[in-house]
Structure 1
Amino acid sequence: MNRSLFLRIQSKVEAYEPYFVHKRNGVGVLDLSALQKITTALRMLAYGVAPYFMDEYLRIGESIAMKNLKKFVKAVVAIFSDEYLRLPNNDDIARLLAVGESRGFLGMLGSIDCMHWTWKNCSTAWKGMHTGHAHELTIILEAVASYDLWIWHAFFGLLGSNNDINVLEWSFIFTELAQGRAPRLNYTINGNEYTMGYYLADDIYPQWATFVKIIPRPQGKKNKHFAEAQEVYGKDVERAFGVLQARFAIVCGPTQPWDLQTLKDIMKACIILHNMITEDERDDGGEENIDYEQIDKIPHAQVSLERTPNTMEFIQQHRRIRDRKTHSRLQSDLVKHLWQIYSQS
């Protein structure tokens, strides 16, 4: 990360957590500085090294280095979660919809997938619950990412023996939408009106109105063209996982801590720092080369905030999210829309 971002994080963490304040110990000797403690924590996150390795570089013992890491990740989660681990607001949704429309996927809000994080020091009594298809002890992260690698949704902590559908059933990804607190969209594809955004997903996900899945064995030019485009743009979340693991090696290899809550704090802190770095290094055009000034002049999907529903409205909204007919119609309309764009070009 850039020096300015590091100093910003240091000042916020030092102001929030007294542990990082540079002070004298019981015998009047200056203790470790905030710079030493935060550098230790960030090096353990970025390089995935063991706590005792810090003694050679920063003269910090193993127990203190581990304490620094736990205090740091908790402070980062407490300070920056509301800003960097939040759902998209109206402006964010408008930008995501504009990017999705430029790609041919009207109403797209990102892509969704799951990642497994290996847990080396998992308790022996929990091994059966954490062993999945890869025959490793893992913990699952469900995430939604956009084209710019920003992670908008993160649900972490479910046992590795679950698959993506089990994680989805436990996840809170559609809670705001079902309860009427999420912005409502209005857009039209092929003459059909839709009021919910959707995520690009793998074939394992259910046929819900909020998912557009890949066609496993496409037949015909239209379906093949759609399958190729869906696969390309559906990889945004895979790219985000790759960049997250490249930036923070601790979430790439087997993790060491024994406590599950510590692992949750580490994962959340890494995602928050990833989003902070993404924001700091963001280029408005990016790889998409989109003219946002022209996009703002064109009327697109309208965004409005729904009111809080009653019980019956909540049940109806829940059924709308899981509507298979809407899923099939949406996918069919997108196939025709993408083929029309391809034919005109």
Structure 2
Amino acid sequence: MVEAHDPYFVQKQDVIEVIGLFSLQKMTTTMRMLIYGVAADFMDDYVRIGENTVIESLERFVKAVVVIFSDVYLRMPHNNDIAKLLAVGKNHGFLEMLGSSDFFGLPGSHNDINVLEHSFVFSVFAEGHAPPINYSINGHDYKMGYYLADGIYPQWPTFVKTISCPQGNKQLHFAKAQESARKDVERAFGVLQAHFAIVQGHAHFWKCETLKDIMKACIILHNMIIENKQNVNNIDFNYDAIDGSPPLSVSHKCTSELYEFIQNHHYIRDRQTHSKLQEDLIEHLWHQYGDS
């Protein structure tokens, strides 16, 4: 599929009919760089391929993987996925928890807050495209799921942070449960780094666009590995798709969609709701598990 997408990987002859490198050579060097994190010039003795060709092969390979497989292995979660995520959160004691948030990248790249400001994850909430999640905790109603996060994240109701200096048994129990549940995302990153050592290396060498393609390609390949280890007969691959681009109309009036976007935008960043949700979760966890 990569060869069909990018003719660069197809073996060719030059003008004097010298046969060039075949696709297996280029892809082998690329996979060794992704998996072992070795330098480009390390491949010369192993596969008889030049440094510049290795770099170009990696850049083209990861871009091809992202273009070909993103719709399947890097898609937004659908309703069935959301239900599974909420079930995992409930097992940890956190009702309607979508997961843990801890943006990470290659050393030398953005930190958590910089990545958050450019992330599409929460723009989906603001635009009203996320699956509806309505729930009640401790007698208070909420309309969005949330992610567990560490202290550097802003006080948004879409984040439930730990308590740095817990006071009393309730807060101590909450902080312990939150930090324990957050280890899931750390384990996920650890597995990704174990499979693809390139994500542990320095990022200064690569262009920003290539960095994004490398990270996405590693995640896609990781998801392929997970799928291959599972029973594929029980996986639903009938994903909904949108054919073509719908026509866009520009309006200068305050539409209902605009009002909804503004309301969602303010709700996501409402500090009062963030504090109330944390207090309700502290009480919920204590009543469910702490005083037993």
- TM-score normalised over the length of structure 1: 0.72
Please tell me whether residue 87 in structure 1 is matched to residue 76 in structure 2: yes
Confirm or deny that 1:176 pairs with 2:124. yes
- Count how many residue pairs are aligned between Structure 1 and Structure 2: 270
Alignment correspondent of 1:198: 146
Residue number in structure 1 paired with 2:242:
none
Does 2:109 align with 1:139? yes
1:239 to 162, 187, 192: 187
The match for 2:288 is: 341
- Which has the larger share of strand? 1
User: 2:90 is matched with which residue?
Assistant: 101
SS at the partner of 2:26? Answer: helix
State percent identity of aligned pairs.
61
Contact 1:214 1:230 in 2 (8 A): yes
- CA shift, 1:314, in A, is 1.2
> What is the deviation of 1:86?
2.5
Per the alignment, residue 132 of structure 1 pairs with none
Amino acid at match of 1:321: I
Q: Is the 8 A contact 1:246 1:252 kept in 2?
A: no
AA paired with 2:278? Q
Answer yes or no: is 1:318 the counterpart of 2:271: no
Picking from 253, 277, 282, the partner of 2:201 is 253
Separation in 1, partners of 2:117, 2:20: 48
Q: Is the 8 A contact 2:148 2:159 kept in 1?
A: yes
Residue 31 of structure 1 pairs with residue 20 of structure 2: yes
Structure 2: how far apart are the matches of 1:260 and 1:210?
Answer: 28
| Counterpart AA for 2:210 | T
Deviation at 1:247, TM superposition (A): 1.6
1:323: Cα distance to partner?
A: 1.5
- Normalising by the residue count of structure 2, what TM-score does the alignment of the two structures yield? 0.84
Secondary structure of residue in 2 paired with 1:206:
coil
Q: 1:321 to 1:328 in 2, by over 3 A?
A: same
Match of 1:14? 3
> In 1, are the aligned partners of 2:103 and 2:116 still within 8 Å (CA)?
no
Matches within 5 A, 1:39-54: 39-54=28-43
Alignment RMSD: 2.3
2:109 and 2:203 in contact (8 A); partners too: no
Per-residue CA distance 1:259-291 (angstroms, 9 max, x = gap): 33222222222222222223333589xxxxxxx
2:165 corresponds in structure 1 to 217
Following the alignment from structure 2 to structure 1, what is the Cα–Cα distance between the partners of residues 168 and 230?
Answer: 39
| Structure 2 letter corresponding to 1:139 | S
Match of 1:327 in 2: 274
> Structure 2: which amino acid aligns with 1:320?
Y
Deviation digits for residues 91-117 of structure 1, max 9, x if unmatched? 110110111112111111111123352
The CA distance in 2 between the partners of 1:187 and 1:259, in whole Å, is: 43
Instruction: Look up the SS of the partner of 2:80 in the other structure.
Output: helix
The structure-2 alpha-carbon separation of the partners of 1:72 and 1:331, relative to structure 1 and needing over 3 Å to count, comes to same
Distance 1:67 1:96 in 2: 38
1:59-108 per-position Cα deviation (integer Å, ceiling 9, x unaligned)? 21222212211110110111112222222111110110111112111111
Equivalent-residue separation in structure 1 for 2:125 and 2:105 (angstroms): 26
Contact 1:223 1:335 survives alignment (8 Å): yes
Cα distance in 1, alignment partners of residues 290 and 114 from structure 2: 40
Q: 1:164 to 1:309 in 2, by over 3 A?
A: farther
Going from structure 1 to structure 2, the CA distance change for 1:255 and 1:323 (only over 3 Å counts) comes to: closer
Cα distance in 1 for partners of 2:282, 2:149 equals: 15
**Structure 2, unpaired ranges of 5+:** 233-254
The unaligned stretches of length 5 or more in structure 1 are 1-11, 119-137, 141-162, 285-307
| Residue type of the alignment partner of 2:112 | D
CA distance in structure 2 between the aligned counterparts of 1:79 and 1:267, rounded to whole angstroms: 15
1:322 and 1:104 map into 2 onto residues whose CA distance is 24
Superposition deviation, residue 326 in structure 1:
1.7
- Structure 2 counterparts to residues 53-64 of structure 1, below 5 A: 53-64=42-53
